[in-house]
């Protein structure tokens, strides 16, 4: 079951400004979209508290990606990417 990846404007801007992190995030999101269950075990992915049940965060080093999973239409929508101190504001 493959998920389609979609990026919001703020997450796309972050990736364009950070080419080194862009490569890491795109590789990991590609793996997540191909085999979601395996990625949950392999990467630091946690469900967000206080939001809808389908909102998650992915940690890669000092950066976090907030994304929402739409199982009914097989889409992973990346809401935002940023540093740990700024992403949760």
At the fourth CATH level, the homologous superfamily of domain 4-82 is RelE-like (3.30.2310.20)
55 DSSP β-pair partners: 68
What does the pLDDT look like over 2-23, one tens digit per residue?
A: 899 999 999 999 999 999 999 9
Please say whether the beta carbons of 58 and 48 come within 8 A. Answer: no
pLDDT digits (tens, 9 = 90+) for 37-75: 898 899 999 998 887 678 999 999 999 999 999 988 999
Could you tell me if residue 4 is left (phi over 0), alpha (psi between -120 and 50 degrees) or otherwise beta? beta
For the full predicted model, state whether its pTM sits above 0.75: yes
Domain residue ranges in the chain: 4-82
């Amino acid at each position: 079951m493959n998920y389609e990846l979609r990026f919001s404007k703020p997450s796309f801007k972050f990736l364009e400004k950070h080419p080194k992190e862009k490569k890491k995030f795109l590789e990991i999101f590609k793996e997540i979209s191909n085999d979601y269950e395996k990625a949950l075990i392999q990467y630091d992915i946690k469900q967000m508290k206080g939001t809808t049940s389908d909102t998650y965060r992915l940690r890669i080093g000092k950066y976090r990606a907030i994304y929402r999973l739409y199982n009914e239409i097989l889409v992973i929508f990346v809401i935002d990417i940023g540093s740990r101190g700024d992403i949760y504001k």
